[in-house]
């Protein structure tokens, strides 16, 4: 089964170096990530030990995120998977197909940056970059500020649609479903308008590394939106129902809440949950009657031409 990954070729705030490494990637059909000290480790225990040794001063949550990133890069990305190279949070640089699984090459990493900097990335995968889309700019933020993470097929397909709703890629016909597009934009809309929607009662969580709580990476999956409640200092896990069965969405939000409790909470800090859906059902209603820390919120779509 094809999986879809978003990778940042380099820090987009360093525009001159970003352009150098990106032109190298296009010419050599590759992409790379950093953390050279951890490159090529295939054993889970050894990888965890290396992270503890190299990044001892980082938080437990950051170490978990780093482990997931490196483990996925070396063990989960397979030939035939799709890579989206992002520039910042609003631009697709290119889309490509994985042709070679991860490998470690210091010399190639140095060649990739040339003489521009000593800060090079040495963990590579091979990617055949497609002709389209290239340099697609979005009006709003569509990518999380993380080096690498996985997205769903639905979100991938929604990203490929041009402004007229037509797929912008040379591939077999894409059977885009309206539900995928709606939910993709719903998440982005909520994040972009977070203060207005929640009237300041919630704020988006940002971790020690500056990662914003949208599609927040954990070892058990990505949390749709992770926020905090300033008045109580509680964490709030927000999940979109996304057409899933009620039992599955309840199980997932409870797992994420448990992960946040274990990895992010300090002392007596609490975790709450919010499920956002278009329509509720009896199963969901009955479940929430006996859970006092999860709220259900419904949204409506109202489109008018005046």
Q: Which of residues 291 and 89 earns the better pLDDT score?
A: 89
Strand partners, 273: 237, 294
Q: Which of residues 286 and 127 earns the better pLDDT score?
A: 127
pLDDT score at 93: 96
From the CA atom positions of the chain, what is the Rg in Å?
20
How does residue 306 score in pLDDT terms, banded at 50, 70 and 90? low
CA–CA distances in Å: residue 78 to residues 1, 5, 39, 75, 135: 10, 11, 17, 8, 25
Task: Answer for the pair 204, 214: CB distance below 8 angstroms, yes or no.
Answer: yes
Q: How many other CB atoms are there within 10 angstroms of residue 292's CB atom?
A: 8
Residue 251 CA to residue 246 CA, distance in Å, equals 8
- The 3-state DSSP class for residue 198 equals helix
CA–CA distances in Å: residue 134 to residues 62, 96, 181, 223: 32, 10, 20, 28
> Which structure tokens are listed for 249?
């969405």
Domains and CATH numbers, the chain: 4-176 (3.10.590), 185-298 (3.40.1350.10)
pLDDT score at 171: 43
Q: Is the peptide bond before 263 cis (omega within 30 degrees of 0)?
A: no
Question: 201-217 burial, b if ≥16 CB within 10 A, otherwise e?
Answer: ebebbebeeebbbbbbb
Residue 167 reports pLDDT greater than 60: no
pLDDT score at 168: 54
Summarised one tens digit per residue, pLDDT across range 108-143 is 999 999 988 889 999 999 999 998 889 999 988 899
Residue 14 CA to residue 134 CA, distance in Å, equals 20
pLDDT score at 207: 87
Mean pLDDT of the residues in the chain: 86
Residue 166 reports pLDDT greater than 70: no
How does residue 177 score in pLDDT terms, banded at 50, 70 and 90? very low
Q: Which of residues 62 and 228 earns the better pLDDT score?
A: 228
How many helices (H) does the chain have, and how many strands (E)?
Answer: 9, 12
Residue 100 reports pLDDT greater than 50: yes
Residue 120 CA to residue 139 CA, distance in Å, equals 30
Q: How many other CB atoms are there within 10 angstroms of residue 200's CB atom?
A: 10
* Highest-pLDDT range among 16-25, 37-46, 169-178: 16-25
CA–CA distances in Å: residue 233 to residues 93, 226, 236, 251, 266: 38, 13, 10, 24, 10
Predicted TM-score of the model (pTM): 0.59
Residue 33 CA to residue 28 CA, distance in Å, equals 15
Residue 266 reports pLDDT greater than 50: yes
pLDDT score at 158: 86
pLDDT > 70 fraction of the chain, expressed in percent and rounded: 90
């Amino acid at each position: 089964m094809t999986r879809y990954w978003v990778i940042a070729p380099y820090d987009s705030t360093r525009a001159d170096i970003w352009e150098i490494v990106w032109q190298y990637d296009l010419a050599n059909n590759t992409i790379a990530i950093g953390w050279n000290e951890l490159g090529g480790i295939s054993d889970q225990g050894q990888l965890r030990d290396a992270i503890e040794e190299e990044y001892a001063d980082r938080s437990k949550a950051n170490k978990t995120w780093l482990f997931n990133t490196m483990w996925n890069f070396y063990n989960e990305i397979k030939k035939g998977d799709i890579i989206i190279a992002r520039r910042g949070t609003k631009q697709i640089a290119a889309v490509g197909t994985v042709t070679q699984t991860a490998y470690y090459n210091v010399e190639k990493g140095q060649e990739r940056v040339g003489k521009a900097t000593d800060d090079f990335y040495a963990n590579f995968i091979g990617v055949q970059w497609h002709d389209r889309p290239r340099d697609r700019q979005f009006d709003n933020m569509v990518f999380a500020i993380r080096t690498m993470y996985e997205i769903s097929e639905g979100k991938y397909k929604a990203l490929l649609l041009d402004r007229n709703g037509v797929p912008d890629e040379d591939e077999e016909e894409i059977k885009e479903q309206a539900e995928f597009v709606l939910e993709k934009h719903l998440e982005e809309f909520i994040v972009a308008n977070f203060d207005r929607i929640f009237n300041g009662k919630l704020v988006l969580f940002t971790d020690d590394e500056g990662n914003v709580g949208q599609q927040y990476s954990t070892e058990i999956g990505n949390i749709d939106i992770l926020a905090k409640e300033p008045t109580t200092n509680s964490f709030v896990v927000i999940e979109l129902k996304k057409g899933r069965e009620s039992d599955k969405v309840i199980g997932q939000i409870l797992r994420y809440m448990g992960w946040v409790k274990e990895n992010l909470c300090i002392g007596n800090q609490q975790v709450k949950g919010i499920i956002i859906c278009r329509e509720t059902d009896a199963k969901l209603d009955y479940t929430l009657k006996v859970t006092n820390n999860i709220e259900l919120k419904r949204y409506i779509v109202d489109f008018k031409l005046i």
